[in-house]
A and B are shown apart, each in its own frame.
Chain A
Amino acid sequence: MRELERIFVRVNWLGLTTIALGFALWEVLLRAGFAQYQNLPAPSAIADGLVEITTSGQLLADTLHTLRAVLVGWAAALVLGVVMGLLLGASSTLRRYSLASIEILRPMPGIAFAPVALLLFGFSLQMELMVIILPALWPVLINTMGAVMGVHARLFEVGRTFRLSRSDILRKIMLPAALPGVLVGARLSMTLALVLAIVAEMVGNPAGLGYAVVREQQAMRPELVFAYVVVIGALGVVLNAMLTGAVAVFFPAASGRMREAG
């Protein structure tokens, strides 16, 4: 119960009121005929559209596809990014060899790889994953590397004076000390993964929420296009909230620092 109360207090009621008023204004302007676009639906029409795709089961199928692509792609980027970030953070030799390549690859807009991915994998989930993983890797890698390099040298000496093995120093000192940085990277990467999944589905793999937007646009159903856009936005909010919540539960000490940083 206290949890619920806390959430109730933390909800920004005034902010929500502003949003509701915005929708009301939109509805009124359209109905009164002040704004006339053939393909701009009123919020009430969008709500009807939401009900339609929900009851038909189309929405669930599309959402599950996108969710799967986002989570698999994000998890892969997370694992790769953390491993590479740890290695690069710990070894200056490795950094000397690879930082130049990283600085060249990192600013490349990942979506430019979409045609390449399409050539390699065709219209498939693999194509989508390639478009997600490459760009989503960098925030994790760079933040993890920075976090490891930022671990205070004194902590390693504490490990040595207590005669910890190398693996214990990694497990009990380096990893937890770097964790807040890793989590910041994980959060940035999650947001990025959703954006990339949608784009990959729009230009490549014909499945999921991204494709649904294009599909309904081509079917001249603007209220459904908007309904899907609303769902995509909500998915972003939910994913971010779930990640923040999971961090608060599993890493209470790190979550405060992550909120400060992220």
Chain B
Amino acid sequence: MNSARPGHPSGAASDLVFSCRDVSVDLPHQDGVRQILADISLELRRGEFLTVVGPSGTGKTTLLRVLGGLTAGTRGAVHVNGRLIAGPPADVVIVFQDYSHALLQWRTVARNVAFGLEGKLPRNEINERVRDALRLVRLDGHDDDYPWQLSGGMQQRVQIARALALRPSVLLMDEPFAALDAMTKAQLQDELHRLRDATGSSFVFVTHDIEEAVYLGDRVAVITGAPGRIERTVEVDLPKPRDQIVTRQMPKFLELRYLLHQAIGQSEHA
């Protein structure tokens, strides 16, 4: 997997999964084009949990789509594993916000999770991976249910399991917990951390919830404005494993929360 190429400092190339240089995105609009993102420079290190936080309408989802290869940058360059991105990269999977549209409603839970593996692995290995993925998101026993028979939180876990079954090196998650109740959300947050420790995957996690961004992230990128720009990035040096009660009461957590509120608030008033 060491794809360092001449012209790239080899250390940086192997350590970085994604690197964006001055990426801007213009998308067609009723009258001409509208700029969604401006001069985004951002990196994702291997094994890192990067959260992207900002108000709605700042292009967070567009940024995620650029990384996932669904939307092409208008200007600037996006490299994935040292190569220029061209379409959805291998080993990178998006988990969408709207699980009910993203799941295949005519397939059972198990067959939804198997979706990305079919034809790529032998049957028994697929079954094994499906079982593992469902156990990781605590949905064992629901193999034969259809998505519409599950609650919203369970459906979102099916979508996460479907991404995990691929054992991707990067998961791109677009406000995956936005529609869930607080308790399910807290539970899934901790599951994500467990998964990161178990798989070593990197995460880009988009959210508009500042506390969630701090709690989950190794690093938080604040994105503000229209078009969206990276206002600042903040290292989160909170101890691991994180704990819903202890971590959230640490002075450091509160300090970071304040910092991010300010970063977002300032740009709002400017």
Contacts and interface: CB of A to CB of B under 8 A. Distances in A.
A157 B106 contact: no
Interface in B56-106: 68-70, 87-88, 90, 92-94, 96, 98, 101-102, 104-106
Nearest to B87: A160
B166 A162 contact: yes
A254 B148 CA distance: 13
B104 A154 contact: no
Interface stretch (A126-134, A138-146, A171-179): A171-179
A154 B102 CA distance: 6
A173 B106 CA distance: 10
B115 interface: yes
Given A162-B166, A163-B88, A157 B105 contact: no
A253 B88 contact: no
B107 interface: yes
B47 interface: no
Contacts, number: 49
A157 to B, nearest CB: 6
Contacts of B101: 152, 154-155
A177 B107 CA distance: 10
Contacts of B88: 160-161, 163
Given A162-B115, A163-B88, A253-B146, A177 B106 contact: yes
Interface string A158-195: 10111100001000110011010000000000000000
Contacts of B90: 163
B94 A157 contact: yes
Chain B interface size, as a band, is 20 to 34
Contacts of B96: 154, 157-158
Nearest to B146: A253
Contacts of B93: 161-162
Query: Which of A152, A154, A162, A177 gathers most chain B CB within 10 Å?
Result: A162
Nearest to B118: A172
B29 to A, nearest CB: 17
Interface string A231-262: 00000000000000000000101100000000
Contacts of B70: 157, 160-161
A253 B107 CA distance: 7
B115 A172 contact: yes
B152 interface: no
Contacts of A158: 96, 102, 104, 115
Given A157-B70, A157-B94, A172-B115, 14 more contacts: A155-B101, A155-B102, A157-B96, A158-B96, A158-B104, A160-B87, A161-B93, A162-B166, A172-B118, A173-B104, A176-B106, A176-B107, A253-B105, A253-B146
11 contacts: A154-B101, A155-B104, A157-B96, A158-B96, A160-B70, A161-B68, A161-B70, A161-B88, A161-B94, A173-B104, A177-B104
Interface of B: 68-70, 87-88, 90, 92-94, 96, 98, 101-102, 104-107, 115-116, 118-119, 146, 166
Interface of A: 152, 154-155, 157-158, 160-163, 168, 172-173, 176-177, 179, 251, 253-254
